[in-house]
Amino acid sequence: MTVVARTQVRSGPLELVMSRTPALRDVPKADLRKLAESGRVHHYRRGTYLCHQGDPPVDVFFLVQGRLEISSVSPTGTRVLHATVDRPQFIGELGVFGEMARTADVLTLDESEIWSVDGDTFLSFVTLQPAAARSLLAALARQVQEHQAFSDDLLFLDLRGRVAKRLLQMATSSLDDLPRDGTSIPPVTHADLASLCGGSRENVSRILSEFHRRGLVRRDGHRYELRKVAALAKLADL
């Protein structure tokens, strides 16, 4: 791991990258520059843990570039995948806001650039920036809504529908704006997709084979191309 410049990253000035996220879109650029300068950008190799489940919430992270896996270990010892993250966004702010231990492990899946700042500095920034506070509250509300939607899916959607919905979610930031036919999703294993859908790996593999036979998806290693988005959306009751 190496430390790179505070405010200049591969994709440009860090404050510009931050300004493109919904949470900081309305914050003045000068204030974003101060926030960026208060932390550090680190370059992590693939397979590096940023934090572990149970760690104290010392820092807030921001994915500048790369891909992360967020997972936890259940009481039975089974690893559960919660999400993969490949778009610039904050990670770990919930623990800082609630003064709670980390609820998941965060692992780099590719070489990644990660900005981090101590939790107290981030809290002070949010306190002084009403626009950031409102946006972060809205983001938290969306997370609660997503968790509720997943619970509803377990109750009302069969596994085939849940797999179809998760494939679509991996291709777009919002199901209100469905991806086009031919869109590829990030690499995912059958075991990880099973964790995301609340099913067994064997059943998810069977459903993916069915989707392939029906021409709904095309497999290329661990990556899938969505061939018939409308049909997948119908299975997901969208």
Sheet arrangement for strand 68-73:
49-51, 105-108, 68-73, 79-85
Same domain, 142 and 172: no
pLDDT at residue 70 tops 80: yes
pLDDT in tens, 131-159: 888 888 887 787 777 778 777 777 788 99
Lowest mean pLDDT among 9-18, 149-158, 218-227: 9-18
Instruction: Report the distance separating Cα 137 and Cα 122, nearest Å.
Output: 14
CB 185 within 8 A of CB 229: no
Q: Which residue has the higher pLDDT, 27 or 214?
A: 214
Instruction: Report the distance separating Cα 204 and Cα 23, nearest Å.
Output: 34
Element (H, E) at 108: strand 105-108
pLDDT at residue 198 tops 90: no
- Output the domain CATH number for residue 96: 2.60.120.10
Check residue 162 and give its pLDDT. 93
Structural domain span for residue 169: 157-235
Query: Which of 128, 150, 172 represents a domain boundary (last residue)?
Result: 150
Q: Cα 238 to chain center, whole Å?
A: 22
Check residue 137 and give its pLDDT. 82
Same domain, 202 and 143: no
Same domain, 184 and 132: no
Q: Give the amino acid at 195.
A: S
Instruction: Report the distance separating Cα 201 and Cα 46, nearest Å.
Output: 25
Lowest mean pLDDT among 44-53, 139-148, 157-166: 139-148
The count of structural domains within the chain is: 2
CB 44 within 8 A of CB 108: yes
